[in-house]
C-alpha cells in the first residue's frame, strides 16, 4: 500500500490510500483544486479514485465531497446511520452513495469500519488492509476504547488524533465554556496525553509508525504534541525513532508518503 495524508485538522481532512488495484480517499474536507493538486503531485489522476470513505458528517470531513463526486462520479461510502444527513448535505447523484454497517471491500482492499466516541450523529474509524498489510485511520474520538484498540492493534501504521493540549484549550479565549467541555469530554477529541497512552498500547501490540493527526490550530502546536507524547513514551521506555516512528499530518500540506507492502504469501 501507498498511503499519504493530504490535509488534517478542523480546516479539512483527507487521506489517500492506494493498493495494487484500488485508490481511495478517506474523507474530503478540502477544495476540489487542493485535492486534485495533491493527487496529481502523487501521480494520481483524480478520475482514478475508486471511492471516498466518510468517517462522519462534520464539515471538515465532507465539505469537498459534493464537488469531487460530481466532477469525477466518485462512489461515496458511509455508515448507514448517517445516510439521511449525508443525502441532505451532499447533493450528488444518489446512485453514488453506498451505505455499510459492516466490513466491505473495494477491489483488493478490505475495509473494516469501527465506531468512535465523538459528538456527531455517528463516527467511524477505518482499518484498511491489502492482504496482511494493515493501516488504520483513527481521528475524531473522545477517548481510545478497548474496542478500538482490539480492531486496530495489528496495524503497521496508524493515523491517530492528537487534538489538543488541555491547558491551551482552557486558556483559548475564543471558545465558549460549553465547547471546551465538549472537546475535552469523552465524546469530543483526543488530547495529547491520551494519544500518548494509546500509542503506548499500540507499540506493545506491534505498531511501528504513528502519524499525529487532526492537531488543533487553536489549542495545540506540533511541537507541543510531539514533545508531550515523546516525553510520556520515554517515561515508559518507548524511544521515539527507535521503537516507534512519530510523524505529523499537517493542516494544509501533504504529509509523508508511506509504503506498507503485503508479505506476498
Ligand atoms: Zn474533525
Ligand atoms: Zn468531528
Helix (H) or strand (E) holding 59: helix 59-62
Q: pTM value? A: 0.97
pLDDT of residue 186: 97
d(CA 68, CA 240): 38
Sheet of 109-115: strand order equals 104-106, 109-115, 124-130, 133-138, 157-161, 209-213, 245-248
CA of 125 to the centre of ligand 1 (A): 12
Segment 103-117 mean pLDDT: 98
Asked if pLDDT for residue 29 goes beyond 90, the answer is yes
How many whole angstroms from 216 Cα to the centroid of ligand 1?
A: 10
* Residue 45 pLDDT greater than 80, yes or no: yes
Q: What is the pLDDT of residues 125-174, one digit of tens each?
A: 999 999 999 999 999 999 999 999 999 998 999 999 999 999 999 999 99
Q: Is the pLDDT of residue 236 over 70?
A: yes
Domains and CATH numbers, the chain: 2-259 (3.60.15.10)
User: What average pLDDT does this structure show over 22-38?
Assistant: 98
Ligand 1 centre and the CA of 212: distance in Å?
A: 13
| pLDDT-derived band at 265, boundaries 50, 70, 90 | low
Contact 57, 68 (CB under 8 A): no
Instruction: Say how many Å lie between the CA of residue 61 and the centre of ligand 1.
Output: 6
**CA 221 to centroid of ligand 2, rounded, Å:** 19
**Alpha carbon of 140 to ligand 2 centroid (Å):** 5
Mean pLDDT score of the chain: 97
Helix (H, G, I), strand (E, B) or coil at 120: coil
264 confidence band (pLDDT: 50, 70, 90): confident
Q: How much distance in Å is there from the Cα of 242 to the middle of ligand 1?
A: 30
Amino acid at each position: 500500500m501507498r498511503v499519504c495524508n493530504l490535509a488534517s485538522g478542523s480546516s479539512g481532512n483527507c487521506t489517500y490510500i492506494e493498493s495494487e488495484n484500488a485508490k481511495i480517499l478517506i474523507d474530503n474536507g478540502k477544495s476540489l483544486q487542493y485535492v486534485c493538486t495533491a493527487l496529481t503531485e502523487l501521480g494520481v489522476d483524480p478520475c482514478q479514485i475508486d471511492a471516498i470513505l466518510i468517517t462522519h458528517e462534520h464539515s471538515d470531513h465532507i465539505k469537498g465531497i459534493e464537488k469531487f463526486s460530481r466532477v469525477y462520479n466518485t462512489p461515496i461510502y458511509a455508515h448507514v446511520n448517517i445516510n439521511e444527513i449525508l443525502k441532505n448535505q451532499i447533493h450528488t447523484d444518489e446512485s453514488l452513495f453506498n451505505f455499510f454497517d459492516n466490513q466491505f471491500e473495494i477491489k483488493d482492499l478490505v475495509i473494516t469500519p469501527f465506531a468512535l466516541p465523538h459528538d456527531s450523529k455517528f463516527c467511524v474509524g477505518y482499518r484498511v488492509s491489502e492482504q496482511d498489510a494493515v493501516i488504520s485511520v483513527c481521528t475524531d474520538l473522545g477517548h481510545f476504547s478497548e474496542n478500538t484498540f482490539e480492531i486496530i492493534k495489528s496495524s503497521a501504521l496508524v493515523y491517530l488524533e492528537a487534538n489538543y493540549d488541555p491547558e491551551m484549550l482552557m486558556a483559548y479565549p475564543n471558545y465558549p465554556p460549553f465547547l471546551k467541555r465538549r472537546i475535552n469530554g469523552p465524546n469530543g477529541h483526543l488530547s495529547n496525553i491520551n494519544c500518548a497512552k494509546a500509542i503506548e498500547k499500540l507499540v506493545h501490540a506491534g505498531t511501528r509508525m504513528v502519524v499525529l493527526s487532526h492537531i488543533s490550530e487553536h489549542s495545540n502546536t506540533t511541537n507541543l504534541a510531539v514533545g508531550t507524547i515523546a516525553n510520556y513514551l520515554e517515561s515508559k521506555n518507548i524511544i521515539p525513532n527507535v521503537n516507534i516512528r512519530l510523524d505529523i499530518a499537517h493542516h494544509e500540506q501533504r504529509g509523508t508518503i508511506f509504503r506498507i507492502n503485503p508479505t506476498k504469501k
